[in-house]
Copies of this chain bind each other. A is one copy, B any other.
Amino acid sequence: MKRKLVVAGLAAALSAGIATTAFAQAKPETLVKQRQSAMTLQGKYFGPLGGMLKGAVPYDANVVARNAGYLETLSKMPWDGFAEGTKGVKSAALPVIWSDAAKFKQAQDQFMSAVTALVAASKSGDEAKVKAAIGEVGKNCGSCHDNFREKS
């Protein structure tokens, strides 16, 4: 019975287009969809923080702390999706991602560091510090898009 349900669960997962193979075997199109999904969710949880920085959204320390925690996890997720094999898949990714992999890696590391600093700031209870940290994350979003993403 249990086994049947497990198999049903996996079958449903499969029918939902979920890869049950290891990452390395995922189709290029799947990798692109996954990395874009991570970016979409980074936008979901960074968006309100950017709004707080601009004063468009009321400052809420609890939302900052929660979103910063989410972003820490999400900030690790896109990168393995930029596998060499995805070069031919239509997306906004620029060729420099693969021609200057070291520069791209550095941008990833800087972004992840900025998010880690935001998590730390969000625990400080110091609004000015938090806002500076939000600004740093936003700066990293922007410079990474400027360098590695086609202008839309």
Interface residues of A (CB under 8 A from B): 2, 5-6, 8-13, 15-23, 26, 33-34, 36-44, 46-48, 50-51, 53-54, 56-57, 69-70, 73-74, 76-77, 135, 137-143, 145-146, 149, 151-152
Contact = CB atoms under 8 A, between A and B. Distances in A.
A31 to B, nearest CB: 9
Nearest to A78: B41
Chain copies in the assembled complex: 2
A27 to B, nearest CB: 12
A143 B9 contact: yes
Contacts of A40: 33-34, 37
9 contacts: A2-B139, A8-B146, A13-B47, A15-B145, A16-B39, A17-B43, A36-B37, A37-B40, A73-B73
B41 A9 contact: no
B47 A19 contact: yes
A61 to B, nearest CB: 15
Nearest to A132: B2
A13 B142 contact: yes
A34 B41 CA distance: 6
Contact of A20 (B39, B51, B135): B51
